[in-house]
Amino acid sequence: MRYLIGLLSLIIIYLISGCETGVEDSPLPGILRITLQSDPSDTMLIERSDTFTVNQTYPALFMIKIFQGRVYKESNLAVLYRTTEDYRQEDALYNILELDSLGGYKQFTIFESYIPPGDYDSVEFGVNAASDYKLTIISLSGKIFENPVVLPPGEKLLVFFPQSFRVEENRVTQIDVQIGPFKSIKRYRDVYHFYRQMEITGVQYF
């Protein structure tokens, strides 16, 4: 009797394992990477009688804060993190006047996150001047200028980019964002207003 029960159990297990459940496997995520780099042509600021230029001889500081990254697929959204190992959104600071080893503006990876595959239609993230740092630039005559940078009154913290792109399983989608560091600022009394002249310059698939 025990032998018969055991045999019946094996038959049932075999039949169940051979049946289709009708439920498809969940797709694997892809990786969305967003980079930020200053406009290579935007390297000079003329302020009254002084000229400022960004190069290896005259280093400069313009710290901005990036935060709250999201991408949208119609009314659905996916949250972005700084790296694929992060599980919590955190603010990050970047000097957008920092130069790389070749003397051009450094490119930063501001988000690199796993998200569900599919077609998306927009990107959004927060951009602000870092309040603990001043814009620090050195004129060709050697004069050092340090001024606070703030958003204009009423300006929203989040910047929205309409952009169609896709994310595929086990692949990387890279969105390149460019900012004009000096085109983005305008002097107002003793501070600069930060107008955030930014655009998406390309979408790459790897």
Domain assignment present for residue 7? The answer is no
Domain assignment present for residue 136? The answer is yes
Domain assignment present for residue 184? The answer is yes
By residue range, what is the domain housing residue 103? 28-205
Residue 47 has pLDDT above 90, yes or no: no
Rounded CA gap, 206 and 201, in Å? 17
Residue 24 has pLDDT above 70, yes or no: no
Domain assignment present for residue 85? The answer is yes
Q: State residue 121's pLDDT score.
A: 97
Domain assignment present for residue 99? The answer is yes
List, for residues 53-64, the tens digit of each pLDDT value: 888 787 799 999
Left if phi > 0, otherwise alpha if psi is -120 to 50, otherwise beta: which for 142? Answer: left
Rounded CA gap, 133 and 168, in Å? 39
Domain assignment present for residue 181? The answer is yes
List, for residues 152-186, the tens digit of each pLDDT value: 999 999 999 999 999 999 999 999 999 999 999 99
Domain assignment present for residue 23? The answer is no
Most confident listed range (12-26, 45-59, 181-195) = 181-195
Q: Into how many domains does the chain fold?
A: 1
Domain assignment present for residue 20? The answer is no
List, for residues 93-144, the tens digit of each pLDDT value: 999 999 999 999 999 999 999 999 999 999 999 999 999 999 999 888 888 8
Q: Where are the alpha helices (DSSP H) in the chain?
A: 2-17
Q: State residue 48's pLDDT score.
A: 77
- Residue 166 in contact with residue 118, Cβ under 8 Å? yes
Residue 151: partners with Cβ closer than 8 Å, 6 or more residues away: 128, 129, 157, 193, 194, 196
Please, what is the Cα angle at 107 between 97 and 171, to 5 degrees? 160
Q: State residue 25's pLDDT score.
A: 59
Rounded CA gap, 124 and 158, in Å? 7
